[in-house]
Structure 1
Amino acid sequence: MKENQDYTRDLAEIRLMMERSSKFLSLSGWAGIMAGIYALAGAYVAYQVFDFTPDESAFSTYNTDNFSSDLLKVIALALVILVLAIGTAIILSHKKAVKRGEKLWNATAKRVIINMAVPLMVGGLLILVLISKGFIGFIAPFTLIFYGLALYNASKFTYGEMRSLGLIEIGLGLLGSYFVGYGLLLWAMGFGVVHIIYGIYMHYRYER
């Protein structure tokens, strides 16, 4: 009986070692929660302060020589949110990695970044094209779609739950592409509410 218990324990330890070597497990649930809070705050500022309404600007005639000041402010706001979210994720994930006795930047982390990079870069370039052509209302849903593709692509190197998160983001982005008037609301749901729920779930399942 004791030999069976030892055998089971050894198998569990081997499985844990293999999982640590093949998957990036330092992602912090709190990073998702904070990213969601940043996104909700940003969506509120874009709508209430800068009066950003996707339904009115979906097929506007903006061009590179005649941007509205509010649109530039919305773009700057989005960049600030991105920097805050990435910075928070790095700090909190580093703390988690140290606590686990691991390095944050390792071969598996590189695989995650590489697999996320292509969809994010393509999405970023496409969004620049949309801005230059004046299709402002499609910016929010397309960020959701390509972000979701990046998560789905990288999910095989980290927690399996990231695959579900990616599919949800893609679904919300597709809805936003059809119902352009609700693009900002769906963006707030995807990057805000869904991130917060995901972060809480990950924290209670893996970090407590």
Structure 2
Amino acid sequence: MDLTTAGTTATLAPATAPLKVAVILASNREGRFAPVVADWFLSRTDGDPAVVTDLIDIAGLDLPTALSYRPGPEEQARLAEVSGRLADADAFVVITPEYNHSYPAPLKNLIDWHRAEWQAKPVGFVSYGGVSGGLRAVEHLRQVFAELHVVGVRDTVSFHNAGALFDDEGRHLDPAGPDAAAKTMLDQLVWWGRALRDAKDVRPYGG
């Protein structure tokens, strides 16, 4: 149905419509472990009627690296595809390693080129690394996303010493714990995603 307020017509998404989740793969290093983690996570969402996913792999993007306050035509052209995908999403999941106690620079570049695309949406985190499991990267990302008016869900999925946890086919060797963590995070993401989507259908966000 449509809602008309003050001469503006907004199309309401059905409350039960699947949440459009942009899954952002944050590593672009050669030999990266990221695709293993991404495949594992996406296999948890396959067949879930509550979500539809769009994998955005930073390694496949051609983003400008020098930020400008007002991007020119060339920068806008290079940003156009990914900007539209971020804007279309109802929610985000960031899959990130930990580099030097923080998150990868290409992810910061992607974040900094956008603003309205992030606002009033939830984000969940899947991290991997050594003994810390990438959690220090996640804590830094929470601060950055909060500045952009993004709601970070509480529970995360983290893989400590990730390389030893999967077999050669990318299957987790002891999946019960990670599967439960992924379900908890996704349940929170869907709740917040639906709540914020419904709220914005009634009243535009004024951040």
TM-score, length of structure 1 as denominator length: 0.31
Kindly indicate which of the two structures has a greater share of residues assigned to strand. Answer: 2
Kindly indicate which of the two structures has a greater share of residues assigned to helix. Answer: 1
TM-score, length of structure 2 as denominator length: 0.31
